[in-house]
Structure 1
Amino acid sequence: MGKFTYSELLLIKKAIKGDTKALGKILRKNHEYIYKMAYIYIGNKEDALDIMQEATIQSMSSIHTLKEPSYFLTWFCTIMARQASKVIKQKIQIRELQNSPEFEEEADLEKNENQAIDVLESVMNLEDKYRLILQLFYYQGFSVKEISELLTMPEGTVKTNLKRGREALRKVLGEDYYV
């Protein structure tokens, strides 16, 4: 994905100039890819559809900021990633509110909450190829083989990107997050 035909590039250019019908057409043409990415970001159908909808709304008001039409999908997926991050943060907050704080000291809860947010933010700031693989492996529980099949890439590439993604997180977060 990412290579557009001449007619698709014309649609994107029209969308940048404010043509919402052109934006709708290019989104429909790439719906399958966009849905797959949304699902990878968030891990379930309902939330994936929600972040796609929110990203579509946001893209309508900010499409004029897209400088290079050939980067449309990257730009759109970045908007979805931000939406996914918000949804994940909300889910973390809801889970923490649902957990009984009587069994843990308040300082420990705050530390765990901050660590979870730090890790999530760090993962969201990684390069796409590392972020997607880490999310699929750790957050969605996919095996290396399943990730390889889902992303249509060799298992060796998945393993390499998984290792490099972990190393990038380790550099950002430090060793104490990997106890």
Structure 2
Amino acid sequence: MKIPIRILMERYQNHLYRIAFSICQNREDAEDVVQDTFLQYHILKKEFEDETHIRAWLMRVAINKSRNIVRAFWRKHRQSLESYMEELDFPDTESSTLFEAVLRLPEKQRTVIHLFYYEDYTIKEIAEILHVSESNVKVRLNRGRAALREEIKEDWNYDES
């Protein structure tokens, strides 16, 4: 199965951008990752089982490309968290505060939290996308949740003072 790229772009462009942005933390790099991901799909001579398999493949490629950019030796400039947050729209301040806390997590926890809560993947699907065991995904989720709980509790305690 091979779905036309324009259809995939309509369906998954925003999802890929968000996951790339959460790793790269830079708008331009995230846009490059999305374009490169769709380009790689376009030139790929592979047939997929179904659309779910295509979506998982796109996410995996976007994550890998994002990590490559972050690891690149020339990457010395980074967009500040404040300027990043200005580019995103949130329905309320609690959503914005939570997303900021997610971005401060270590990459492994941040990626799993993002895929689980923002992209609605199951633990099994995340394990397949990241090529790790389901128990590893559960550990990363639990550690990420614990870190978020501590950070948010600190914010709430600070607000009450």
The two structures have a TM-score, normalised by structure 1, of: 0.44
**More helix per residue: 1 or 2?**
1
The two structures have a TM-score, normalised by structure 2, of: 0.48
